[in-house]
Amino acid sequence: MVITEVRIKLVEEKDNNERLHAFCSVTFDNAFVVRDLKIIEGTKGYFVAMPSRKLTDRCPGCGCKNHLRSRFCSACGTRLDENRALRNTDGRAKLHADIAHPINSTCREQIQSAVINAYHEEMEKAKQPGYVCSYDDFDYDEYHGGAVGYRTDAPHTARGPAKKVAPGQAADAGFGAGIY
């Protein structure tokens, strides 16, 4: 396995106490990408947190899914047991589960080293005039002839210019024509 690309998206600092410094994606063998890794400043320096999801359980009353931090059911309002989350050996509640993670420490160190090095390089690039974040580039897929056509963080927009119709003039027949 070879890490062929690391893309970094720096987080705008809003507060000096903020530990999250960047998000990143890592591409392996030009064939597989893992997104939403986080670069966090810990007590011993920077580390990479793997992508995760919030853990949920079901309401005993209605069966609706709720996050483990929820105090009340989002569907029926029933009060939920605040101690329903599993706890690890040091007593901390397990609230998230990794979506992807390295199986051994050698792999973790390889990923963390590549990501932290790329983060430092991106920090230097960000100081230059005209800096553009590489994380925001179009995704590229050689098997489909180029850009896939979406951006990782851009809002979705219409697929073409809107057609303006003068008042009293009929629009082209198409989707939604004849609804009135």
In a domain, residue 31? The reply is yes
- Report how far residue 11's alpha carbon sits from residue 20's, in angstroms, rounded to the nearest whole number: 7
* Residue, of 166 and 118, whose pLDDT is higher: 118
- 8-23 residue pLDDT tens: 999 886 666 689 999 9
Mean pLDDT over the full length of the chain? 79
- 84-94 residue pLDDT tens: 888 888 888 88
In a domain, residue 177? The reply is no
Same domain? For 81 and 104 the reply is no
Statement: the pTM of the whole predicted model exceeds 0.75:
no
Q: Mapping DSSP to helix (H, G, I), strand (E, B) and coil, where does residue 33 land? A: strand
In a domain, residue 164? The reply is no
In a domain, residue 161? The reply is no
- Report the CATH number that the domain containing residue 9 is assigned in CATH: 3.30.1120.40
Same domain? For 113 and 82 the reply is no
In a domain, residue 166? The reply is no
DSSP 146: E
Same domain? For 75 and 117 the reply is no
- Report how far residue 93's alpha carbon sits from residue 68's, in angstroms, rounded to the nearest whole number: 9
Same domain? For 38 and 68 the reply is no
In a domain, residue 175? The reply is no
pLDDT of residue 89: 86
In a domain, residue 17? The reply is yes
Domain that holds residue 69: 53-98
- 21-40 residue pLDDT tens: 999 999 999 999 999 999 99
pLDDT of residue 157: 39
pLDDT of residue 162: 43
Q: Mapping DSSP to helix (H, G, I), strand (E, B) and coil, where does residue 177 land? A: coil
